[in-house]
Structure 1
Amino acid sequence: MEEDLPAGAEADVVTRFWTDLGLPGLVDVHTHFMPDRVMAKVRAYFAAGGPLVGRSWPLVYRPEQDRGLATLRVFGVRAFTSLVYPHKPGMARWLNTWAADFAARTPDCLHTATFFPEDGAADYVREAVEAGARVFKCHVQVGGYDPNDARLDPVWGLLAETGTPVVTHCGSGPVPGKHTGPEPVARLLHRHPRLRLVIAHLGMPEYRDFFDLACRFARVHLDTTMAFTDHSRELAPFPTAERPRLTDLGDRILFGSDFPNIPHGYAHALRGLADLDLGDDWLRGVCHHNAARLFALPPRK
């Protein structure tokens, strides 16, 4: 697969990837759709290489929601997320309202929600779950909070009880945060061992530590977002010694792209997975079957 392809050619390459595997499409657990003004600020931050990014981050795809949806659909992505996340109190509830509306008019988007350590968090998380939220986003780096904040304890308890997956950016890449790294997540899982955390970016750069946690806690999953791209190989290459655990934990590894806020083509992320040479069954699980099972997606006819 080649990056920097024209749009139509890239769609052909991506489609050929999953059709050659005999899949009904792709499931991408790590995509971002946000209110327009929020997305504009996020993209400006990436384009400027802000402190939490730490380096140049040229954006390949345009941010318009309709264009982004059309791109994923022409690629054959049958289900994806709208990972929204707050960076301060007072944002999460209205982000959840927006995301619920977006999911209601976008049937291939998994209804997504989020939270922040603040008074009332447990109430609006319960409201989101009751309204049908199927996945939550927790961004420890951007939010700058300890996931063990006492105000979040009832939130984690509810999400563990309901088995709702939580895509969690808790690794210290691309830039460490005050509460990033495996230790806060280890404490969280010891208190709530049934949490279905999806560790974003395979826990980059603390891959080994987060794989250790996945081995100890049977509901922990990991997503591949950016982990095997050229960008991340330069920043935090995946350790060769951990490659066998990609297979050992293969049924709990999920494909993620970070679309549309990525500095490379979508096909490039898939090529990075294929280049691992872990076999077609592994690719089928990562790119479709594991997430389809996690989110109970119906068979595509």
Structure 2
Amino acid sequence: MDEAERIGRFRREHGLDSLIDVHTHFMPANVLDKVWKYFDAAGPLVGRPWPITYRHDEDERVATLRSFGVARFTSMLYPHRPEMAAWLNAWSSQFAARTPDCLHTATFYPEPGVADYVAAALGDGVRVFKAHIQVGDYEPNDPLLDPVWELLTDSGVPTVIHCGSGPAPGTYTGPQPIVSLLQRFPDLPLIIAHMGMPEYVEFLDLAERYPRVYLDTTMAFTDFAEEDAPFPAGQVPRLDELRSKILLGSDFPNIPYGYVHQLESLERVAPDSGWLRAVCHDNAAALFGVE
């Protein structure tokens, strides 16, 4: 049985017509090539061998997601320096225009003019933003970002934010900067990437405390992640309590295992099929207004 058939069986067993994945990566080919080279070299922010499972061209990667029954996905992309985000957003706008099942994605960086290009992206119909605190190496409470957080609070457009200290800590990763951010912007819509790995407990607390804070499952519970950052067994009951706040994420294509393994890993912690339907489709459908 090939992978698409296995995923189809997973969907049938749990009553899922389709999946919504809020954490997939599409970006300009030259940028993605550099990302893959960094993973190949097991750079400091990776810290271990990390083979890329879906090292295919763009069209094949889109077709692969569709064959898995992923009805909506994102084009997560992120800058590592100033004067890069607006260019990435222009590319992402074109990608969304030619890929209607992609949730139009944008990004930002603390720099002069950031509020202007974020406002322009919102006007262009962006559905979700990506912030990568580890790679960007910036403080989310940088005053340059305050008008961005205000815009996103007012618009209700969420940001998938990689702010946990996995797979390797950064200067500004960890829960405390996000605690400070939410104290200042308590209605800010955030999707904590990777369930906040490895600071799971602290980020579960934030999702519990703030009504517009969600978590995505990217890499969490997989054998690969459990080796270095196991999810605390005592916290598993909280996954049921927070079932409306958890969204499917995968990190496709930059994962060192097959896509189906993320789904099977969720089965291991799922209290019931209703939870899987909520996490793998319904919660994101409600958040993004997907029919």
In the superposition, the TM-score normalised over structure 2's length comes to 0.99
Q: Does structure 2 retain, via aligned residues, the 8 Å contact 1:39–1:63?
A: no
How much has 1:277 moved relative to structure 2? 3.9
> Would you say 1:201 and 2:217 are equivalent positions?
no
Structure 2 residue corresponding to 1:135, chosen from 125, 128, 132: 128
Cα-to-partner distance string for 1:125-147 (whole Å, 9 max, x where unaligned): 00000000000000000000000
- Structure 1 position 156, deviation (Å): 0.4
Provide Cα deviations, 1:231-290, integer angstroms capped at 9, x if missing partner: 100010000111111111110100000000000000111000011141100000000000
- Any stretches of 5+ residues in structure 1 without a counterpart? 1-7
1:258 pairs with 2:261: no
Q: Matched residues, percent identical?
A: 60
Name the CA distance, whole Å, in 2 between partners of 1:135 and 1:34. 15
The one of 145, 150, 154 aligned to 1:157? 150
Classify the secondary structure of the residue corresponding to 2:12: helix
Structure 2: how far apart are the matches of 1:59 and 1:95? 22
Find the residue that maps to 1:44 and give its secondary structure: helix
| Cα distance in 2, alignment partners of residues 204 and 81 from structure 1 | 20
1:47, 1:57 within 8 Å by CA — same for their partners in 2? yes
Q: Secondary structure at the match of 1:156?
A: helix
State how 1:68-217 maps to structure 2 within 5 Å: 68-217=61-210
Paired residues, number: 291
Q: In the alignment, is the contact (CA less than 8 A) between 1:28 and 1:256 conserved in 2?
A: yes
Q: Which residue of 2 aligns with 1:32?
A: 25
Deviations, residues 76-127 of structure 1 (Å, cap 9, x unaligned): 0000000010000000000000000100110000000000000000000000
Instruction: State the TM-score, normalized to the length of structure 1.
Output: 0.96
What is the CA deviation profile of residues 11-59 of structure 1, one whole-angstrom value per residue up to 9, with x for unaligned ones?
0001111122222200000000000000000011011111000000011
Quote the Cα distance in structure 2 between the aligned partners of 1:46 and 1:237. 21
Query: How far, CA to CA, are the matches of 2:257 and 2:150 in structure 1?
Result: 37
The alignment partner of 1:61 has SS state of: coil
Aligned structure 1 segments of 4 or more residues deviating by more than 3 angstroms:
none
- Note the 1:17-56 alignment, pairs <5 A: 17-56=10-49
Equivalent pair of 1:99/1:113 in contact (CA under 8 Å): yes
| Structure 2 gap ranges (5+) | none
- Distance, in Å, in 1 between the alignment partners of 2:49 and 2:211 is 37
Could you tell me how far apart the structure 2 residues matched to 1:267 and 1:121 are?
37
Secondary structure at 1:213's aligned position in 2? helix
Pairing 1:282–2:275 present? yes
